Amino acid sequence: MKIGIAGSGFVGATAAYALVMRGVATEVVLVDVNQKRAQAEAADILHAVPFVHPVEVVAGEYADLAGSGVVIITAGVAQKPGETRLQLMERNAVILRQIVPQVIEHAPQAILIITTNPVDVMTHLATKIAADYGIPSHRIMGSGTTLDTARFRALLGTRLGVDPQHVHGYVIGEHGDSEVLTWSIVDIGGLPLEDFAQLRGIPLDDPIRAAMDDEVRHAAYTIIEGKGATYYGIGAALTRIVDVIAHDHRAILTVCSLMPEVAGVHEVTLSLPHLVGGSGVMEALPLKLNAWETSALHASARLIRAAMDELEQSHER
């Protein structure tokens, strides 16, 4: 499958590299307003091809996205010191309003994956823009809490001494501070979390859970403080999403997608476990959450809905 990537910064370039390493794509096209950067990244990644899989890697214009099955949109700006959340949203909204129509014009059949932050709000905006061109919402998704879920499972796997691939638990809601770790439904190989921990004689009391929750929730802050940006984890997450779409795997992924209603909040885009396949988002899975998690999800959905309303109102002014 031909994959387009709009934005060749750290995230876009790392996603392209991961796609090549896993052999997911037949062709990767990098598009960026900074054409020199896109060309340099494409050339650097292309030089790795002889060591892995036969993939064509090029830099191009939006017209070169024609025929793409998936287009990943990573373009955006980082938050400036002293800048408000609304100001960041407004600047990235301007970028998305420029990019999404061009992608749809040249690759009208592509599924769009948004990573631009704040990803829930930007995915909501992209979905609304795409709707004006007749693109259904199931073909627009955000990376959402795919990486947060991986972080949660990785930490649990380390704590419990088990392969994280056998840890089933989700992070839902906002990709951000209000995200919800679904402790009550975690299972390991079919065993509830508490039963597995007891079986292995591993303590998992409230203070330990609180520390793990904090580590998952603030992982990006810690990484950014140490190295300036996060890109390996999200690059791998994007590659997994593309792989699922390209091969119609019908996998359960915590991408964010437009939902008619979540926890009493209407018309909101956030992350839930979704069945994802070759046509995009196929179905959201209802979760049997406990009362605290349900309340936290409601609060997260309200926060996102308020941010969307704020962005819409600022655009109308």
| Amino acid symbol at 37 | R
Half-sphere exposure of 150 (CA within 13 A, CB side): 17
Distance CA 42, CA 28 (A): 9
Could you give the residue ranges of the DSSP H alpha helices within 247-288? none
Q: Please give the backbone phi and psi of residue 35, each rounded to the nearest 5 degrees, phi first.
A: -60, -35
3-state secondary structure of 58: strand
SS3 83: coil
Among the options 124, 138, 175, 274, which is catalytic?
A: 175
Q: How far is CA 1 from CA 34, 65, 181, in A?
A: 25, 12, 34
Could you confirm whether 298 is annotated as catalytic? Answer: no
Give the HSE-up count for residue 264: Cα atoms under 13 Å, Cβ half-sphere: 9
- In three-state secondary structure terms, 113 is strand
Contact 51, 22 (CB under 8 A): no
Supply φ then ψ for residue 269, to 5 degrees.
-110, 115
Which positions are annotated as active-site residues? 175
